[in-house]
């Protein structure tokens, strides 16, 4: 019997101990626009995550069993070579059944978008567990080593090679460790190597022979297994971290650092980490040796004179694995699709936004045209219903007739505000679908047409110009939007593609840029011509081929309820903006300001240490800064490698230093550079308890 409790238990237990094939924390995210409602026999209730191959959906079978359904990206689906590999690996995976594995429940490799389904369970991945709870010890460590070795032995016995053994592919469930994505990793890996010749894999988890020849067999899986168990026992990679080429050199030339491992386990892992694959222990032998060590560990814990047989793991030894159950109430509640304007990349959980001293409220002011750049002076006046435009462009000048004269040159176009409620007080608005949260239908997209009237041409140009300016800062202006109009649906359609195998992160930037450009443009048109301008809704789509007649909807919204992320009238950072900010900038000014701003944060922090009693910071202490061109925000983040910002006091001090230093840099650039648009800031730090970054402050810089 293996250390993992079997998945062929009664249904109620299977629901308690499922395993995710993608989203490692097992939390259900809301479905997005364009997500299927059913895949095969499974009803889709939300998302679990996404990766390079596809999207993983949370599903229920007809009996209510929870499943994880991975649907392959259309770009992969259109590749005949990938389909052939995927079909072969699904066939192989269907034969793999054993302890500490996730059984393949169903698959359709010949579907328009191929898919597969496995059992599902919440649980932390190994790397998340180590970050939250520390290294594995005692019986749990030996049970982990035994279970993962047994899983690989089972995989290898049917001719499957995992090729992607790493902490993110091992879930620590209450039922034991589970190895994920066996076989399927082979399909993705084989395609990329065959077609591009690019080395695949994660530095630190690649075997010496894979580095040398690009090939990997069962012996490579065992090398990664040895690294995995050492990492689980110490929280430290045996070949260290750093630049990929440095790690590769150590793997090829240096001995692993196994300091801190129990002696008998160190001897076993030394065999697994041999440079010569022929000298490595195989998975079956490793599983037997680990089982013997686990039996000895349990015997010592139970303080019995005579332990069980060396290679037998009975029920008493299973008890050595002791992790708490986790549960996600979203599985138990009926889900409904909600329209939220920003359509976030991911659900923002446990975000705490620190209050900015004095608060920032937007006011109309005759001598200060940009309420978003106002100082912290407050008054009893009523807050404005408008917010500043996130991109510097003149407001549209007409909706149904010829373009009129441009604004007077003395008006800074960056201070023109986006109407937050453009139809306020309008009795007979031409746009009649305000508040309609219905997602635009595919036939509405197909029925849309190119611009006809002068107003439509003006809107098309404004949207395209704004999108291009945003995408250019990330070197993505090759993604040219096609802009069409459906008057009956009162919707403007923005369509991108086809770009083969475009990363999902770049599609997400396209979506966000399209939504912001459309929202701000339509809001101006509604404000200027409320009784004649009919368009208030917008949707963003992506084509997978030139002949695609059903382009997937990436997002949709309307321009009548504001275009920026706000809470109680104040802008705040979010995960979607952070994800965009993490993409390297190609804009020279942004690169220059980011570098100087990080140095300024460190200098400000160090200046304040006399009052805060904090230890000084260095520039290489893990502070990073990037820009989100969609909402014109500078994001500061740190993964806190030295646990400097775990207390409320240190986080407050970091927020203060970042706000002071970043706003000083942004404001100076805004005043001296007429093309500079960034006026907002946000700060996030890594939270070891949740394993995610949490926002600790955000706001808008005073002028």
Q: Would you state the pLDDT for residue 325?
A: 59
Written as one string, the DSSP assignment of 271-293 is HHT-SSGGGSPPHHHHHHHHHHH
Phi, psi of 89 (to 5 degrees): -70, -35
Nearest-angstrom CA–CA distance, 374 and 362: 8
Candidate from 130-144, 168-182, 186-200, 629-643 with smallest mean pLDDT: 186-200
Nearest-angstrom CA–CA distance, 539 and 557: 7
Pick from 66, 48, 124, 148: nearest CA to 324? 124
Q: How many CA atoms lie within 13 A of 431 on its CB side?
A: 30
Q: Binning pLDDT at 50, 70 and 90, where does residue 124 land?
A: confident
Task: Please answer whether residues 687 and 695 qualify as being in contact, where contact means their C-beta atoms are separated by less than 8 angstroms.
Answer: no
Alpha-carbon 145 to chain mean position: 29
Q: What is the mean pLDDT of residues 92-111?
A: 82
Nearest-angstrom CA–CA distance, 207 and 217: 10
Angle at 154 between CA 184 and CA 1, to 5 degrees: 135
Pick from 589, 151, 122: nearest CA to 329? 122
SS (H, E, C) 327-368: CCHHHCCCCCCCCCCCCCCCCCCCCCCCCCCCCCCCECCCCC
Element (H, E) at 686: strand 680-687
Q: What is the mean pLDDT of residues 373-385?
A: 32
Q: Which residues lie across from 635 on neighbouring strands? A: 626, 682
Among residues 164, 574, 640, 687, the one annotated as catalytic is 164
Percent share of the chain, pLDDT over 90: 43
3-state secondary structure of 214: coil
> How far, in Å, are 599, 605, 650 from residue 615 at the CA level?
16, 9, 10
Question: Of 245-259, 339-353, 516-530, where does the model show the most confidence?
Answer: 516-530
Q: Binning pLDDT at 50, 70 and 90, where does residue 351 land?
A: very low
Q: What is the mean pLDDT of residues 420-438?
A: 89
For the segment 605-620, what is each residue's pLDDT rounded down to a tens digit? 999 998 999 999 987 7
Question: What is the DSSP code (8-state) at residue 449?
Answer: B
627 vs 401, residue with greater confidence: 627
Nearest-angstrom CA–CA distance, 634 and 678: 7
Nearest-angstrom CA–CA distance, 125 and 413: 49
Residues in the chain: 703
For the segment 475-500, what is each residue's pLDDT rounded down to a tens digit? 898 888 999 999 999 999 999 988 76
Work out the mean pLDDT of the chain and round it to a whole number.
78
Q: Binning pLDDT at 50, 70 and 90, where does residue 331 land?
A: low
Pick from 105, 115, 97: nearest CA to 179? 97
Instruction: Mark residue 157 as left, alpha or beta (left: phi above 0; alpha: psi -120 to 50; beta: remaining).
Output: alpha
Strand extents, DSSP E, 41-188? 42-50, 54-60, 66-72, 104-108, 115-119, 124-125, 170-173, 176-179
Phi, psi of 169 (to 5 degrees): -105, 20
Token pair in block for residue 42:
């499974």
Candidate from 85-94, 120-129, 249-258, 314-323 with smallest mean pLDDT: 314-323
Q: Binning pLDDT at 50, 70 and 90, where does residue 103 land?
A: confident
Token pair in block for residue 455:
């107003």
Q: Would you state the pLDDT for residue 455?
A: 94
Counting beta carbons within 10 angstroms of the beta carbon of residue 288, is it exposed (0 to 12), middle (13 to 18) or buried (19 or more)?
middle
Task: Please answer whether residues 487 and 444 qualify as being in contact, where contact means their C-beta atoms are separated by less than 8 angstroms.
Answer: no
Which residues does 446 contact at the CB level (< 8 Å), separation at least 6? Answer: 549, 550
Q: What is the mean pLDDT of residues 342-364?
A: 27
Candidate from 285-289, 355-359, 461-465, 662-666 with smallest mean pLDDT: 355-359
Nearest-angstrom CA–CA distance, 276 and 245: 20
Pick from 175, 155, 171: nearest CA to 163? 155
Report the CATH number of the 11-331 domain. Answer: 1.10.510.10
pLDDT at 400 over 70: no
640 is catalytic: no
Task: Please answer whether residues 419 and 388 qualify as being in contact, where contact means their C-beta atoms are separated by less than 8 angstroms.
Answer: no
Candidate from 93-102, 210-219, 585-594 with smallest mean pLDDT: 93-102
Q: Using DSSP bridges, classify how beta strands 170-173 and 124-125 pair: parallel, antiparallel or unpaired.
A: antiparallel
Q: Would you state the pLDDT for residue 262?
A: 92
| Residue appearing with tokens 């690009």 | 214
Candidate from 11-20, 232-241, 441-450, 666-675 with smallest mean pLDDT: 11-20
Number of helical H runs and strand E runs in the chain = 18, 21
Q: Would you state the pLDDT for residue 364?
A: 27
Pick from 432, 542, 436: nearest CA to 479? 542
Token pair in block for residue 452:
């006809």
Residue ranges covered by each domain of the chain: 11-331, 346-386+566-703, 391-563
């Amino acid at each position: 019997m293996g250390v993992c409790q079997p998945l062929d238990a009664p249904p109620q237990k299977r629901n308690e101990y499922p395993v995710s094939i993608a989203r490692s924390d097992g939390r259900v995210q809301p479905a997005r626009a364009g997500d299927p409602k059913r895949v095969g026999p499974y009803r889709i209730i939300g998302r679990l995550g996404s990766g390079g191959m596809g999207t993983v959906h949370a599903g229920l079978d007809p009996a209510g069993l929870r499943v994880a359904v991975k649907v392959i990206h259309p770009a992969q689906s259109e590749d005949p070579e990938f389909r052939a590999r995927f079909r072969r690996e699904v066939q192989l995976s269907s034969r793999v059944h054993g302890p500490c594995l996730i059984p393949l429940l169903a698959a359709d490799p010949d579907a328009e978008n191929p898919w597969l389904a496995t059992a599902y369970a919440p649980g932390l991945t190994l790397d998340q567990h180590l970050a939250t709870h520390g290294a594995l010890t005692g019986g749990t460590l030996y049970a982990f080593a035994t279970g993962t070795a047994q899983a690989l032995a089972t995989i290898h016995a049917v001719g499957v090679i995992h090729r992607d053994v790493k902490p993110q592919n091992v879930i620590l469930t209450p039922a034991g460790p589970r190895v994920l994505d066996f076989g399927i990793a082979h399909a993705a890996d084989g395609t990329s190597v065959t077609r591009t010749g690019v080395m695949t894999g994660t530095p630190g988890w690649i075997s010496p022979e894979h580095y040398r020849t690009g090939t990997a067999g069962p012996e490579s899986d065992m090398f990664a297994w040895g690294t995995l168990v050492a990492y689980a026992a110490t929280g430290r990679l045996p070949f260290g971290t750093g630049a990929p080429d440095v790690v590769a050199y150590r793997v090829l030339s240096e001995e692993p650092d196994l300091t801190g491992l129990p002696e008998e386990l160190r001897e076993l892992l030394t065999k697994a980490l041999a440079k010569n694959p022929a000298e490595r222990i195989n998975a079956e032998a490793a599983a037997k040796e680990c089982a013997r060590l686990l039996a000895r560990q349990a015997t010592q814990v139970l303080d019995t004179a005579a332990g069980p047989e060396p290679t037998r793991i009975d029920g008493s030894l299973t008890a050595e694995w002791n992790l708490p159950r986790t549960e996600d109430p979203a599985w138990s509640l009926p889900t409904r699709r909600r329209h939220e304007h920003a359509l976030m990349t991911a659900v923002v959980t446990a975000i705490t936004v620190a209050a900015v001293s004095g608060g920032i409220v937007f006011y109309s002011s005759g001598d200060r045209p940009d309420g978003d750049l106002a100082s912290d002076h407050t008054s009893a006046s009523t807050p404005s219903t408008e917010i500043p435009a996130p991109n510097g462009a003149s407001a549209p000048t007409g909706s149904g007739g010829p373009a009129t004269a441009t604004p007077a040159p003395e008006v800074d176009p960056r201070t023109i505000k986006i109407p937050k409620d453009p139809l306020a007080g309008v009795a007979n608005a031409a746009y009649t679908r305000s508040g309609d949260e219905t997602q635009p239908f595919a036939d509405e997209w197909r029925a849309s047409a190119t611009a006809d009237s002068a107003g439509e041409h003006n809107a098309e140009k404004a949207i395209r110009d704004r999108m291009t300016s945003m995408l250019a800062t990330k070197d993505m202006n090759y993604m040219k939007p096609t802009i069409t109009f459906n008057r009956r649906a009162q919707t403007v359609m923005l369509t991108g593609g086809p770009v083969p195998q475009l990363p999902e992160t770049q599609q997400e930037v396209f979506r966000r840029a399209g939504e912001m450009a459309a929202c701000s443009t339509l809001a101006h048109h509604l404000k200027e011509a409320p009784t004649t301008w009919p368009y208030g809704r917008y949707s963003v789509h992506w084509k997978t081929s030139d002949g695609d007649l059903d382009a997937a909807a990436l997002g949709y919204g309307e321009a009548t309820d504001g275009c920026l992320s706000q809470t109680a009238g104040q802008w705040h950072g979010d995960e979607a903006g952070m994800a965009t900010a993490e993409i390297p900038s190609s804009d020279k000014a942004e690169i220059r300001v980011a570098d100087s701003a990080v140095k300024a944060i460190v200098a400000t922090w160090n200046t304040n240490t006399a009052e805060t009693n904090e230890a000084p910071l260095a520039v290489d202490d893990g502070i990073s800064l990037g820009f989100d061109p969609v909402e014109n925000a500078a994001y500061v983040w740190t993964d806190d490698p030295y646990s400097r910002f775990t207390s409320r006091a240190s986080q407050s001090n970091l927020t203060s230093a970042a706000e002071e230093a970043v706003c000083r840099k942004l404001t100076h650039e805004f005043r001296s550079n007429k093309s500079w648009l960034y006026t907002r800031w946000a700060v996030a730090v890594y939270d070891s308890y949740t394993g995610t970054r949490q926002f600790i402050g955000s706001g808008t810089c005073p002028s």
